Amino acid sequence: MRLVYVSSRYPYGPGEAFLGAEIAAHVADGASVHVMPAYPKGAVVHGDAAAIAGLVETRSAAADLVALARHVLVAPRALASVGATLAAPQRRAVRAKNLAVLSRAGRLVSLLRRTGAEHVHVHWGGTSSTLAMVAAEVAGVPWSLTLHRWDIYENNLLARKVRSASFTRVISEGAAADLRTIVPDAEPTVLHMGVDIPSRASRGDDPGRPCRFVCVASLVAVKNHGELLRAFAEVPGEASLDLIGAGPLEVELRSLASSLGVADRVRFAGLVEHDQLLGRLAAGEWDGIVLASMASGSEHEGIPVSLMEAMAAGLPPVATDSGGTRELVTADAGILVPPGDHAALSEALRRFAQDGALRARLADGAARRVADAFDARRVARELRELFSAAGR
């Protein structure tokens, strides 16, 4: 099957690493995939993203302008699609973003025609799906979109997109409910994101060593690293915590760790290449993963892919019951704590640090949970069945 994926920036920049597993699974099963980033900016940060470099439409502002003139500005159907998109009711700032991204529409139309694409799929309901929708309509190619969660609430022409797309995929039941509140006649397909399922044979587990926690998240307020540090400070013994990620709060968080007396047990590791991180997870460098988002269950958090990847490698989680996390972390696969409940978070961390048998039991449950329900190869096969049905 010949596919074109539209991303926001992937494979450029540190985000959207989750797309790698989905695209690689299609390719492994024999599909032809090309990737068109709406905003091809930045360096290729992750090694596994570099592996698909040959599938990515190259960056060229000049080529964008030539293709825009050739495929959009002189084509009545293209002008009708662009006009309907820009004329639809939308906030002024959103209309400006949509107008800007459509400068790449001609390039995407050219890619679809040149590759004989049978289907276009796009992640995010923002401007990347505006680009995919218009180009697919112009080229006469079926298209579909994956909505995560925050992008639903941005509501960038969601009703128009849902009605134009052959199907709309959401990655959690919570996201499906959210979409229906904005587009009441929407009938989304719930299909979780998938991750690679590694072998756990290489994990170097040692029940006698001090517990080593890891948190993989950008250092921004909503991830609530401050509360995590305060709860971790109450964990006795020699337990350690690695914070993987970068962000504007690093200086503040370093100062907090020092004031709490845990600077010697907390390591700020910065950004880690995605493939390297997966290797370290599988090798057993850590004993548990922690996510302490301050979001409530009703806020715009999806199911964290970083949590899936760690669980797949056998790391049991302590996670905030926010967004769609409860669809991933079941009672036999980790511990959920209420958002903002300091006592519950602190107690969960202490239990993990002091009870190796608990960690081992939940580690097995976590790995089984992801292998059973979040395998990227299975998810990709289900997606291609939907793509094929859209073309019939």
Write the burial class of residue 206 (CB in 10 Å: 0-12 exposed, 13-18 middle, 19+ buried): exposed
Q: How far apart are CA 175 and CA 298, in angstroms?
A: 10
Tokens, residue 266: 């907390």
Q: What is the pLDDT of residues 293-329, one digit of tens each?
A: 766 544 556 889 999 999 999 999 999 998 889 999 9
CATH number belonging to domain 212-373: 3.40.50.2000
Q: How far apart are CA 314 and CA 308, in angstroms?
A: 10
CA 57: distance to chain centroid? 21
Half-sphere exposure of 91 (CA within 13 A, CB side): 8
Could you tell me what percent of the chain has a pLDDT over 90? 84
Q: Could you say which DSSP state residue 266 is in? A: E
CB 121 within 8 A of CB 380: no
Q: What is the mean pLDDT of the chain?
A: 93
Q: How far apart are CA 100 and CA 111, in angstroms?
A: 19
Q: Is the pLDDT of residue 346 over 50?
A: yes
Q: How far apart are CA 98 and CA 85, in angstroms?
A: 8
Domain 2-194+375-390 of CATH type 3.40.50.2000: yes
- In angstroms, what is the C-alpha Rg of the chain? 22
Of residues 384 and 324, more confidently modeled: 384
The whole-model pTM stands at 0.90
For residue 207, the model assigns a pLDDT of 61
For residue 297, the model assigns a pLDDT of 45
For the chain, residues classed under CATH 3.40.50.2000 are 2-194+375-390, 212-373
Write the burial class of residue 248 (CB in 10 Å: 0-12 exposed, 13-18 middle, 19+ buried): exposed
Query: For residue 375, what are the CA distances in angstroms to 174, 309, 329, 370, 372?
Result: 20, 10, 15, 7, 7
Q: What is the pLDDT of residues 190-235, one digit of tens each?
A: 999 999 998 764 454 566 689 999 999 999 998 999 999 999 999 9
Q: Which residues of 335-364 are buried (b: 16+ CB within 10 A; e: fewer)?
A: bbbebbeeebbbbbbbebbeebeebeebbe
Q: State the amino acid at position 151 in one-letter form.
A: D
